[in-house]
């Protein structure tokens, strides 16, 4: 069974993320969405909340497993028995960072490959950071997020303002 690990912060999970996840099922029998705590990014949602939202969005796909992990990604990938790391590339600006990460991961774990997927055109500009900014300014989120994720993001933004 071919297993891919799709790591990220997912603060919150967007349609861009779900696009990469569902399209990766063309290459992998099982995809593990691995949510990282990543406190350096100052997430709006704690890791438990983010795992819960990813599970909610992906609930109809039994080939998707959602977990959280800490530490080196390659260690987690090897422990999981996965074949590859899945990463999305939106633009050239993503490439340099992702390329460096893929090379260091290969150096740390020679058997771990990285697979890059470009998002579908309609999601090529999406990032959780941009979506949070739209939410902070009261913009519509329905084109970018699952309705329940949009509700939770709006609730969180409101609670921070009060």
Catalytic residue, candidates 2, 41, 151, 158:
41
Q: Which of 24, 30, 128, 146 is catalytic?
A: 128
Question: Listing from the earlier edge strand, what are the strands of the sheet with 84-88?
Answer: 64-68, 30-35, 3-8, 84-88, 113-117
In the annotation, is 161 catalytic?
A: no
132 tagged catalytic = no
**Nearby residues of 57 by Cβ (< 8 Å), 6 or more positions away:** 13, 18, 146, 149
Catalytic choice (17, 30, 50, 146) = 17
State the catalytic residue, choosing from 23, 55, 90, 156: 90
User: Is 119 buried (19+), middle (13-18) or exposed (0-12) by CB count in 10 A?
Assistant: buried
Strands of the chain, DSSP E: 3-8, 30-35, 64-68, 84-88, 113-117
> Would you say 95 and 61 are in contact if contact means Cβ atoms under 8 Å apart?
no
Mark whether 90 is an active-site residue. Answer: yes
Specify whether 42 is catalytic. no
Both tokens assigned to 149: 């994720």
What residues act catalytically? 17, 41, 90, 128
């Amino acid at each position: 069974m071919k297993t891919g690990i799709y790591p990220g912060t997912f603060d919150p999970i967007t349609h861009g993320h779900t696009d990469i996840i569902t399209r990766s099922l063309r290459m992998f029998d099982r995809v593990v969405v691995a949510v990282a705590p990543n406190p350096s990014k100052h997430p709006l949602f704690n890791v438990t909340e983010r795992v819960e939202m990813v599970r909610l969005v992906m609930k109809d796909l039994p080939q998707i497993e959602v977990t959280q992990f800490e530490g080196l990604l390659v260690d987690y990938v090897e422990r999981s028995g996965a074949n590859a790391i899945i990463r999305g590339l939106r633009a050239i600006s993503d490439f340099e960072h992702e390329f460096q990460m893929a090379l260091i991961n290969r150096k740390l774990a020679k058997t771990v490959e990285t697979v890059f997927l470009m998002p579908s055109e309609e999601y090529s500009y999406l990032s959780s950071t941009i979506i949070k900014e739209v939410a902070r300014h009261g913009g519509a989120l329905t084109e970018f997020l699952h309705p329940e994720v949009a509700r939770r993001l709006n609730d969180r933004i409101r609670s921070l303002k009060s």
